[in-house]
Amino acid sequence: MNLEDLDYISSAGLRTLRFVDFVKYIHTIEIEPGTLPSAKDLYLDNLELAKEYMTDEQYKTLRFYLEQIPEDHHVVHGDLHMKNVMLVNDEPMLIDMDSLCLGHPIFDLAATIRFLYIIGMSRSVKADVGDGDKGERFIKHGQEALTKLLEEVDGLYFTID
């Protein structure tokens, strides 16, 4: 699927498409090893810091899967989500570049998922304060919307040329 193939898209859908298209472009950029920190090493370091908050089995499982991610030399933002991409003169621009590194694009996709999860959790907590049934409905619909957005981003990332 190409962006040009789509006849009609809502403004939210268009923003999602532009975000995914821009992210895919960023992930085509290769750089010399050693120029930037390794995303994989950063994730493994963070896992060590979080080790005390998980069981031994959880730690070993996460470490195993992180170690399976192949070494890669593509640009990875490190904290990639929709709030770190701004439009300047109608062109997307990355901000918050202090976590820029190199590695497999899966690390940016993980950051996007983490961001959506945190947003969903924070909205769930806010909705749960004092409004009973309305809060429960908001949580349910908020989680459904976030799940749909995540599926949309995931589907577009792997299908847009």
Output the pLDDT for position 146: 65
Q: What's the mean pLDDT in 76-99?
A: 88
C-alpha to C-alpha distance for 108 and 43, rounded to whole angstroms: 11
Name the residue ranges covered by the structural domains of the chain. Answer: 3-157
Tell me the per-residue pLDDT of 35-68, one tens digit each, with 9 for 90 and over: 999 999 999 999 999 999 999 999 999 999 999 9
The conformational region for residue 94 under phi > 0 = left, psi -120 to 50 = alpha, else beta, is beta
Tell me the per-residue pLDDT of 31-40, one tens digit each, with 9 for 90 and over: 999 999 999 9
Quick check: 90 pLDDT over 90? no
- Give backbone dihedrals phi and psi of 37, rounded to 5 degrees, phi first: -60, 160
Quick check: 135 pLDDT over 90? no
CATH of 3-157, one of 1.20.120, 2.130.10, 3.30.160, 3.90.1200: 3.90.1200
Q: What is the pTM of this model?
A: 0.71
* Token representation of residue 90: 């109608």
Quick check: 8 pLDDT over 80? no
Other CB atoms within a 10 A radius of the CB of residue 107 amount to 24
